[in-house]
Amino acid sequence: MDASTAKVVIVDYERGNLFSVKNACAAVGMNVVISQDPKEIAASKGIVFPGVGAFGDAMANLKRLDLLHVLKEALANNIPFLGICLGFQLLMEEGYEHGHHKGLGFIEGAVRRFDDSKALANHFLKVPQIGWKKIFPAQGVSWYNTLLRDVYEGDQFYFVHSYYAEVASKAAKLSVSQFDDLEFCSSIRRGNVFGCQFHPERSGEIGLSVYRRFKDLCELN
């Protein structure tokens, strides 16, 4: 591995499948390791924070593995950060999945469940929502200087989720997508911190462009 390449850590908090994320990082030439060591995470040039599963359970794991502090510190220090799916949702203040749980509190907002009450009448409204959805720039936002630089308005990404982030901070919203008549925030950005509900590592070549931009961001910092 090229010694000049910034070392990026995929955080392993025992929630979800890290291998497809690792493959995507490797495909764009990122120097990446999977780790749950707070010291290694603190020393990294960039953090990829994936995850599937339940919100409260994930926060409990982060606490047990003593990772809450190092993650909050990295976020506060504007270290390049890519939160994916549950890893994106955990950036919020709170989540309502099986009870009420505190999140990392970096972005103002809460994680709520999709309404599946219409699923019996319309099977396209089943939950979890699984499939390729279009993403559009949030109101007044340009993707030019972000990880979505190579993405066109209306490009489709792969989503699988039952919960969505209701983001209170308008300035943090980067993209929006649609579930029935609900417009939800499908990605956020604040400084070098990026979070997306969709899975760029499972979204074909357009998804890889997000990893490529993230690699560039890590090397700049």
Partner 1 sequence: MSTVRIIPRLDIKGPNLVKGINLEGIRVLGSPQDFADYYYRVGADELIYMDVVATLYGRNSLLDFVAETAKRVFLPITVGGGLRSIGDIQQILRAGADKVALNTAAIKQPKLISEAANKFGSSTVVVSIEAKKRPDGSYEAYTDSGRERSGKEAVAWAREACELGAGELLITSIDQEGTGKGCDLVLAREVAKAVSIPVIYSGGVGKKQDILDTLIEGRVNALALASVLHYGVLKAGYIAKAAGLFAFPKHFELLEVATIKDYLVKSGIDCRVQVLRN
**Residues 141, 180, 138, CA angle at the centre, nearest 5°?**
5
Specify the 3-state DSSP secondary structure of 23: helix
User: By rule CB under 8 A, what string of x and - marks binding of each residue 180-199 to partner 1?
Assistant: x------------------x
Buried-state track 11-42, b at ≥16 Cβ within 10 A, e below 16: bbbebbebeebbebbeebebbbebbbbbeebb
Is residue 201 annotated as part of the catalytic site, yes or no?
A: yes
- CA torsion sign, 43 to 49 to 212 to 202? positive
Selected from 77, 78, 142, 178, the binder of partner 1 by CB under 8 A is 178
Query: Per CB under 8 A, does 65 bind partner 1?
Result: no
Selected from 24, 104, 193, 196, the binder of partner 1 by CB under 8 A is 24
Our CB check for partner 1 shows the closer of 51 and 103 to be 51
Catalytic residue among 101, 161, 196, 199: 199
Shortest Cβ 219–partner 1 spacing (Å):
22
Indicate the angle between helix axes 204-220 and 19-27, nearest 10 degrees: 70
User: By rule CB under 8 A, what string of x and - marks binding of each residue 116-135 to partner 1?
Assistant: x--xx-xxxxxxxxxxxx--
Query: What's the token pair of residue 184?
Result: 């939800």
Specify the 3-state DSSP secondary structure of 214: helix
Is residue 25 annotated as part of the catalytic site, yes or no?
A: no
**Residues 215, 94, 157, CA angle at the centre, nearest 5°?**
40
Shortest Cβ 131–partner 1 spacing (Å):
4
Catalytic residue among 25, 97, 185, 201: 201
Residues in contact with partner 1 by the rule CB under 8 A? 15-17, 19-20, 23-24, 26-27, 52-53, 116, 119-120, 122-133, 152, 155-156, 158, 160-161, 178-180, 199, 201-208
